Amino acid sequence: MIRVLVIGYVWPEPNSSAAGKRMLQLLEYFTSSNYKVIFGTTAAPSIHAANLEELGITSVKIELNKSSFDTYIQELQPEIVLFDRFMMEEQFGWRISKNSPASIKILDTEDLHFLRNFREKELNIKSSITNSELAKREVASIYRCDLSLIISEVEMNVLKETFNVSESLLLYIPFLFISLTESKIELLPSFEERQGFVSIGNFKHKPNVDAVKYLKNEIWPIIRRELPNEQLHIYGAYPTAAVLQLNNPKENFHVKGWVKDAEAVVKSAKVSLAALRFGAGLKGKLTEAMQCGTPTVTTSLGAEGMQGGLAWNGFIENDPKRFAEAAIKLYTTKALWQESQLNGYQLINKRYNKDDFYKELNKRLNYLKEKLSHHRESNFVGSMLMHHRLKSTQYLSKYIEVKTELEILKSSNIN
């Protein structure tokens, strides 16, 4: 059985974030394809983490800057290693190359971190993305891997056109969903059965915090003037004290925090609001709304890379006044709401059908299994970066390991 080691940035939390759902979708791809999957992470246990054992996945605890990982990987010799975000490749990629050189190295970027970071800064300061320190790190990580899974076509274009990354190193894999059937759609609540607005997103993610503040200060007051009796419910894991302070029942603005069944609250709402002003990747809150038959109002950045040439399931507006007016119109016009709902079903079934992307991923992995040496020879930039990385990161990591051991030894002697 082919072994896949997934090195996770955190434990996957599918009920807390789109990143958690994305990771679970990739894990399910491997398990359904009869791979032996091992999930390792340096992260502390999480109360919201998925039960990987139920999926037949083995979990292991790994440590940063420890030679124990070298021993582990020498014994395991996985055919495939999947890094969850570029930071994990930075930490463990050189150890994989040294101790299990035949392993196919795959990077799942989740979204392009440097693009999200750049857009956040652009709200206040204009700069060049190619000058970004984060971009240099993340693109270098992409070059060092045999394949990178890119969640958005827009991000594919950024990498190819701005950073000249070869398409042979990239594969477009968006969210992976089962197609919506008529029988499933018929079970969803109707226009009349729904009430209120909803907004959802993990509050460890800066774009979601900004979006809630933007809703509270700029958009909700306009909606509330026209619809004074309607409620807006805000959900999301890990809300900070500053986020919870935005809760104001007198203004029908309710900050609820984490919810166990996000699908249930989205299904019960009439309209979903995603007032995102920066970010990257695809927005899980929007595909979730589509699957729940809940029309959305979002920004052009929120809808980026999601619709292709298909109609949106609601409205895309960047001006706060127009955003609010679109939300009101969608909320109060049944025919428009139903048309938007159907658009959402079309988007899920035509853009995110997992069977289509399983085939693409199978094809690329089979090629890498057969032609890995040739593939790496064609990636000179990646080989060059790996050569210098082994001379720098490797020795930095070893220095940290020795320094830690000396400090532990010194502490034990004192005691």
Catalogue all structural domains in the chain, each as residue range(s) with its CATH number: 3-177+354-414 (3.40.50.2000), 182-351 (3.40.50.2000)
Confidence of residue 90 (pLDDT cuts 50, 70, 90): very high
Q: What percent of the chain has pLDDT over 90?
A: 81
pLDDT at position 415 over 70: no
Confidence of residue 406 (pLDDT cuts 50, 70, 90): low
Range with the lowest mean pLDDT among 261-270, 296-305, 344-353, 377-386?
A: 377-386
47-53: average pLDDT: 91
pLDDT at position 412 over 70: no
Query: 212: Cβ–Cβ under 8 A, 6 or more apart, which residues?
Result: 199, 201, 203, 234, 236, 243, 246, 255
Task: Write down the mean pLDDT value for the chain.
Answer: 92
206-233: average pLDDT: 96
Burial code of 309-338, b = ≥16 C-beta within 10 A, e = fewer?
eeebbbbbbeebeebbbbbbbbbeeeebbe
In the numeric block, which tokens belong to residue 100? 């299990």
358-386: average pLDDT: 93
Range with the lowest mean pLDDT among 124-133, 261-270, 334-343?
A: 124-133
pLDDT at position 404 over 80: no
Q: What is the pLDDT of residues 201-219, one digit of tens each?
A: 999 889 999 999 999 999 9
pLDDT at position 392 over 90: no
At 407 the pLDDT is 60
pLDDT at position 65 over 90: no
162-181: average pLDDT: 96
At 14 the pLDDT is 87
76-93: average pLDDT: 96
CA distance 182 to 391: 57
Please state the pTM of the whole predicted model. Answer: 0.89
- 296-299 long-range contacts (CB < 8 A, ≥24 apart) are 296/271, 296/272, 296/340, 296/344, 297/271, 297/272, 297/273, 297/323, 297/326, 297/327, 297/330, 298/273, 298/274, 299/274, 299/275, 299/323
Confidence of residue 391 (pLDDT cuts 50, 70, 90): low
